[in-house]
Amino acid sequence: MLDASDDGYVTEDGRKIGGVVMEMKNITLRFGGVVAIKDISFDIRQGEIRAIIGPNGAGKSSMLNVISGFYVPQEGEVWFHGKKRPPMKPYEVARQGIARTFQNIALFEGMSVLDNVMTGRLNFMKTNIVQQAIWRGKAEAEEVENREAVEKIIDFLEIQHIRKTPVARLPYGLKKRVELARALAAEPKLLLLDEPMAGMNVEEKEDMSRFILDVNDEFGTTIALIEHDMGVVMDLSDRVVVMDYGKKIGDGTPDEVRNNQEVIDAYLGVSHD
């Protein structure tokens, strides 16, 4: 296992990983009689790329929804920045600095890329509806300020050429990138990515991997991601949680996980009695 002292650890490529940002303690989540997550504990550390993997139906997306506060687990505790987090509305979670992308893209299809990314800045807008209707003055200054932040993200993700294009007209790979841009616009401390590479071709996957690494490197954002593509997961992440049938069956560096017999069984299949 990793040296999980409270000061963090140093990755193979020399990045310093800090203390625990988020800790999941004995989480259990049920939908009626179905147990989606069963007594799972793990932590996410400052600055790391943490992957959650597992076969279909393992409970990965449910886990992400627990982290994002969308689901409230029946048992267990979520600790964020050293404090126990009470049940919260999703917008309250967003204000705490957690942003996410979705497995099925959830953008405003009729709006331009720029407007979509601007919606990510909502938490930085303080003017009320009347001020915004008048616009001149306070709302204008606020928009200029937020537009600048958004333009930096557009530049970072290299989507300048589609700035004014309605999202509905974009190919799938670019939509994914726009979604990432919107999540980044919220300047999250913790970024949750739900299958960022699903449905992409090899080139798009390479681009997306590059962007995820760059986001982590450039902004120091902590990232938790769910991904099916094992090659991508193993290359990108610092530590991996493996789930199967709602249980945690492995946790560690990609190499440790790769050699874990239970993980191999879950992926290659053994008879479950």
Please report, as ranges, the residues that interact with another protein according to CB under 8 A. Answer: 13-14, 147-148, 151-152, 154-156, 158, 160-161, 163, 210, 214, 217-218
Q: How far is the CB of 128 from another protein (least distance, A)?
A: 27
> Residue 129 or 144: which CB sits closer to another protein?
144
| Sheet with 34-45: strands ordered across | 34-45, 20-31, 75-80, 83-84
Cβ nearer to another protein, comparing 3 with 13: 13
**Considering beta carbons, is residue 14 or 32 the nearer one to another protein?**
14
Which is nearer to another protein, 68 or 216 (by Cβ)?
Answer: 216
Computed over its alpha carbons, how large is the radius of gyration of the chain?
Answer: 19
Contact status, residue 164 vs residue 199, Cβ threshold 8 Å: no
Q: Please give the helix or strand (H or E) that residue 2 lies within, else none.
A: none
Residue 192 CB-density burial (10 A; 0-12 exposed, 13-18 middle, 19+ buried): buried
Query: Measured from the CB atom, is 161 or 169 closer to another protein?
Result: 161
The nearer residue to another protein, 113 or 186, going by C-beta atoms, is 113
Among 222, 239, 230, 241, smallest CA distance to 205 is for: 230
Torsions phi, psi of 19, nearest 5? -75, -175
- The CA distance from 96 to 112, in Å, is 27
At closest approach, how far in Å is the CB of 152 from another protein?
6
Q: Toward another protein, which CB reaches closer, 13 or 273? A: 13
Least distance to another protein, CB of residue 15, Å: 8
Least distance from C-beta 179 to another protein, angstroms? 20
- Cβ neighbors of 179 (< 8 A, separation 6 or more) are 101, 102, 105, 106, 107
d(CA 20, CA 8): 8
Q: How far is the CB of 251 from another protein (least distance, A)?
A: 27
Which among 73, 32, 39, 30 has a CA at the least distance from the CA of 247? 39
Closest CB 144 distance from another protein, rounded Å: 10
Closest distance of CB 240 from another protein, Å: 22
Q: Tokens for 166? A: 């309605």
